[in-house]
Structure 1
Amino acid sequence: MYALLILDIQVGLVHGPETPWHCEALLKTVNSLMDRARNAGAPIFLARHVGPAGSPIEPGSPLTRVAQELKLLGGEVIFEKRRPNAFAMTGLADQLRTCGATGVVITGMKTQYCVDSTCRAARDLGFDTVLIADGHTCSDTPVIKAEDIIAHHNATLEGAFCQLVRAEEWRF
């Protein structure tokens, strides 16, 4: 069974000063994936990135809340993480195994940080890993446009670290 793992779709990133590339489309995609996961009885995990006390993203900060655009129904597991890798110091791997998940479907933000490191870690931990090709995003950097970052990571991660699947093609 595959679990859906949604990374950092939170107020500070969705509505922050750096506009994520195609964010509205991403939110629709994530909501659709959640609907499909629920219909299939697949567990849904949402990671919220938090920082140290005193930082803008300290635990409890409004910036770390799940973005209101996500349609949460109450059965989701929401957890905090402090590292880009959602498995680091969170107990996520044990929770996935406890609910019977042998694979994870990864979506969310930001491509070059949390999405990348979580895909790599999931494979290292023995999970069948799927990255939704059109289900992750980031913002432009001074050096590279977000669209190019996403394309690069899709090409880099596919095969060695994950299976790359478009959202409309994925079935739980």
Structure 2
Amino acid sequence: MIEIRWHGRGGQGAFTAARLLGHAVSIHDGKYAQAFPSFGPERRGAPVLAFTRISDNKISDRSQVEKCDYVVVLDETLYGPSVIKGLKNNGILVINSKKNPSEFAGHGFKVITIDATELSLKTLKRPITNVPMLGALIAASGLTNLDAAYESIDSGLSPAIREKNKKVLLEAYNSVKEEA
């Protein structure tokens, strides 16, 4: 089983990204997936967690993800010991940051940084980093492909924002692929 933990702030779309990934791999790649949020009294800007599980077999575990293969951080200010806790050795941290990956390294996992905020502002005109971070994760992990992600966006987002989100997903995907 592959487990992903998403760290974001209310309003950034962490759960939406978790759900889009789950939808892409379950509907389009024939795998089983779970996507679920974890937050207290939600308010814009408050820290939130979301989780995605992916498996070739039915998933019965409904608990929060403690040990994960990937951690995706939508807001760099959330980064700290609690964010990387449970990230498996040889796992991947994907973080929305202008900083060099070496500034987060040294813990036994690979680090990928991408300025998703800039991409979002340029294309979406809002600092909603969920879809570019999804694109970065897909590029770093190979968990699904772009066509499945596009189809997930088409079925999971409102028609008014689909094309811009597909564009920013591709830009983030290509940015990470170029760095690899």
Which TM-score band (shorter chain)?
Answer: 0.3 to 0.5
With the length of structure 1 as denominator, give the TM-score of the two structures. Answer: 0.35
Identify the structure with the greater helix proportion: 2
Point out which structure has higher relative CO (alpha carbons under 8 A, 6+ apart). 1
With the length of structure 2 as denominator, give the TM-score of the two structures. Answer: 0.34
